[in-house]
A and B are shown apart, each in its own frame.
Chain A
């Protein structure tokens, strides 16, 4: 399994587009800048919803209203981060494979994806009961707390990836 992932990384690293991006003077820094700044769209916006779930901010607004307000930005950020992230990974696939910070980041990203899935399949099913209340159920607060912690850790791991490269 690991061996075939390694081979895939080596193959990706040597493809023509990945090589061109890696060796480009401006494209790589531009894609990197887009990736770093787009984190504000995703992590910064989702944090507003997380803080509402935690009962810290916007307590008088419905949870669904806050979600409607921030989720379009979150998904835009997700699109930009995923596409720029795949490009950056492709350009440095061989190095990234053995980069410990990058490995940690990928695991954290999986958790950050599973967390909302669990949230929407459990406590969110009864949202009508607690949508307007300032104090949300414990599971909802847990989801908000986990989300904000994970995104902080993902930013830290992402920054560390460049230090290890």
Chain B
């Protein structure tokens, strides 16, 4: 199992060792993870609801373009803090079904939302074809499932 080796390496890495020894690091990192979640969720929601055709104040292309830096920064922060948290309890995560479900949902969410987002950025007019609305709705659902699976990790 190559993946298991990756998790073992992460647990033994300098970062993993630091996270495991520090008393406060996990709590701080988890709080930043949650703040990034709020930023990512709120901005993705604004862009997706606009793509679906609800809330038509700002043009769909301009909201997608303007919020892109926030989305990318929030995504960077959430992935970085996520890796840090995994490094604290790598093997626990590896064998946690909710964690596995979350990683699959995360991959699916990226695969769905990236092309939908790019299509929205490139759109010349302000019409929302059915496939773009559907894509935006599926993207929101996939991110919601990432969130639900993420919260479940702690319950298992």
B66 close to A (CB within 8 Å): yes
In contact, B151 and A73 (Cβ under 8 angstroms): no
A residues less than 8 Å from B43 (CB atoms) = 44, 47-48
- Nearest to A62 among chain B residues (CB) is B57
Q: Which of A37, A48, A156 is close to B67, meaning CB atoms less than 8 Å apart?
A: A48
* Nearest CB on B from A51, distance (A): 7
Q: Interface with B: A28-36, A82-90, A109-117, A125-133, which one?
A: A28-36
Q: Which of A29, A39, A60, A73 is close to B38, meaning CB atoms less than 8 Å apart?
A: A39
Within 8 A of A (CB), among B64-100: 66-67, 70
In the bound complex, what is the Cα–Cα distance between A68 and B42 (angstroms)? 15
Task: Determine chain A's interface SS by DSSP, over half rule.
Answer: helix
* Nearest CB on A from B55, distance (A): 5
B114 close to A (CB within 8 Å): no
Provided the pairs A39-B38, A40-B42 are in contact, do residues A156 and B151 lie with their beta carbons within 8 angstroms?
Answer: no
Per-residue CB contact flags for chain B residues 21-53 toward chain A (1 = under 8 Å, else 0) read: 000000100110011011111110110011000
B5 close to A (CB within 8 Å): no
In contact, B37 and A69 (Cβ under 8 angstroms): no
In the bound complex, what is the Cα–Cα distance between A68 and B54 (angstroms)? 11
Provided the pairs A47-B42, A151-B38, A159-B34 are in contact, do residues A37 and B58 lie with their beta carbons within 8 angstroms?
Answer: no
In the bound complex, what is the Cα–Cα distance between A155 and B41 (angstroms)? 14
In contact, B27 and A70 (Cβ under 8 angstroms): no
In the bound complex, what is the Cα–Cα distance between A37 and B39 (angstroms)? 11
Task: Determine chain B's interface SS by DSSP, over half rule.
Answer: helix
A residues less than 8 Å from B49 (CB atoms) = 73
In contact, A40 and B45 (Cβ under 8 angstroms): yes
B134 close to A (CB within 8 Å): no
B residues less than 8 Å from A66 (CB atoms) = 57-58
A residues less than 8 Å from B39 (CB atoms) = 43-44, 47
For A, the interface residue count at a CB cutoff of 8 angstroms equals 33
Provided the pairs A44-B43, A58-B58 are in contact, do residues A163 and B27 lie with their beta carbons within 8 angstroms?
Answer: yes
In the bound complex, what is the Cα–Cα distance between A33 and B152 (angstroms)? 8
B residues less than 8 Å from A136 (CB atoms) = none
Chain A CB count within 10 A is highest, among B27, B38, B66, for B38
In contact, B58 and A73 (Cβ under 8 angstroms): no
A residues less than 8 Å from B30 (CB atoms) = 159
- Nearest to A58 among chain B residues (CB) is B66
Per-residue CB contact flags for chain A residues 50-79 toward chain B (1 = under 8 Å, else 0) read: 010000011011000110111011000000
Per-residue CB contact flags for chain B residues 104-131 toward chain A (1 = under 8 Å, else 0) read: 0000000000000000000000000000
B135 close to A (CB within 8 Å): no
A20 close to B (CB within 8 Å): no
In the bound complex, what is the Cα–Cα distance between A159 and B81 (angstroms)? 15
8 A-B pairs in the complex with CB atoms less than 8 angstroms apart: A37-B41, A43-B38, A44-B40, A44-B45, A45-B42, A58-B62, A155-B34, A159-B27
- List B residues at the A interface (Cβ < 8 Å): 27, 30-31, 34-35, 37-43, 45-46, 49-50, 55, 57-58, 62-63, 66-67, 70, 144, 147-148, 151-152, 155
